[in-house]
Amino acid sequence: MKYIVLNLLLFIGISLNAQITINFGDYPVIGDIHKYDSTNIGGLTAGAAGANITWDFSNISGNYNFSRNFIAPSASTYSAAFPGANMVIQDAEAETFLDVNATKVEMLGIVMDIGLGAWTVVPFTNTLTSINFPTDYTDSFSDTYDFDITVDGSSLGADSVNVTSTASVLSTIDAYGKLITPNDTVECLREYVEHTSTTVVNAYVAILGSWTQIQSTTSTDYSYTWVAMGHGSGVMEVTTNSLGNIETIKLKEVPNTVTNV
């Protein structure tokens, strides 16, 4: 869950030759398909924040083994659970339901395996802002979201399992510069996100007639996304530890026909 939220990032376009502004027209449209290399070669960091930074990731493998599809809600099995959605981001890890409009993108909820062995529908009680339009370098925003779901608990030896989570997100456009990939050098704007969540899991066993807390965790996670003109989605997405050391990575396939240097 945390990984997906951290990587529900800015699907946008920018120009470094003028004022950097992210607009609604830069967002992906239904039918778009993007491919990523998710191979973490190790020893990488997110690099510096600030103006006119160069980030060199030219040694990534270039094995584009992960696809992300932007589909209509009607194409999803789970659309009935998210009646306000007008776009879905679909990949092997999750389906993320969005309300995309001219002023912002709201995350309505997600469908994924939350640790119970099967995909679970998770509507957010308080939706999460992904991006506001317009957005510029040094802009930031904070938001909160939460969910409360009860599902079959047989995978954990219980009759039912209840999962509640409250979370806060702080997003900052902390840098711009040039991202060097295996195929290209691309001018990018970078978003930094801190995600803090508290999740409580309770199990109900009918023979005992009561709920029992089996887990309670609070954690803070960190991610960065590089976005660029003409690509429609993040050119690179990483999660890191608190020191900026990369733990997971997705580098988008970038054809040199859209280079902007």
* Predicted pLDDT of residue 255: 67
Task: Please give the residue range of the domain that contains residue 160.
Answer: 2-253
Strands 119-132 and 135-136: unpaired
Query: For 47-64, b where at least 16 C-beta lie within 10 A, e where not — what string?
Result: bebeeebebebeebeeeb
Per the domain annotation, does 261 fall within a domain? Answer: no
Identify which has the larger pLDDT, 234 or 89.
89
Instruction: Give mean pLDDT, residues 50-68.
Output: 90
Per-residue pLDDT of 31-44, as tens digits, reads 999 899 988 888 99
- Residue 43 structure tokens: 């020893």
Per the domain annotation, does 260 fall within a domain? Answer: no
Phi-psi region of 177 (alpha: psi -120 to 50; beta: other; left: phi over 0): left
- In angstroms, the CA 63 to CA 211 distance is 46
- Residue 146 structure tokens: 């939460």
- Residue 19 structure tokens: 């004022």
Query: Of 193, 192, 185, 259, nearest to 229 (Cα)?
Result: 259
Whether 260 shows a pLDDT value over 60: the answer reads no
- Residue 86 structure tokens: 């007008």
Per the domain annotation, does 259 fall within a domain? Answer: no
CB 168 within 8 A of CB 196: yes
Distances (CA, A) of 110 to 7, 49, 53, 106: 13, 30, 34, 12
- Band (pLDDT 50/70/90 cuts) for residue 17 is very low
Per-residue pLDDT of 183-238, as tens digits, reads 888 888 899 999 999 999 999 999 999 999 999 999 999 999 998 766 667 889 99
Per the domain annotation, does 167 fall within a domain? Answer: yes
Per-residue pLDDT of 119-166, as tens digits, reads 999 999 999 999 888 878 899 999 999 999 999 998 888 999 999 999
Per the domain annotation, does 59 fall within a domain? Answer: yes
Per the domain annotation, does 182 fall within a domain? Answer: yes
Q: How far apart are the two ends of the chain, measured CA to CA in Å? A: 36
Please give the mean pLDDT across all residues of the chain.
87
- Report how many domains make up the chain: 1
Per the domain annotation, does 229 fall within a domain? Answer: yes
- Residue 27 structure tokens: 């967002």
The contacts of residue 133 (CB under 8 Å, 6+ apart) are 22, 23, 24, 102, 103, 104
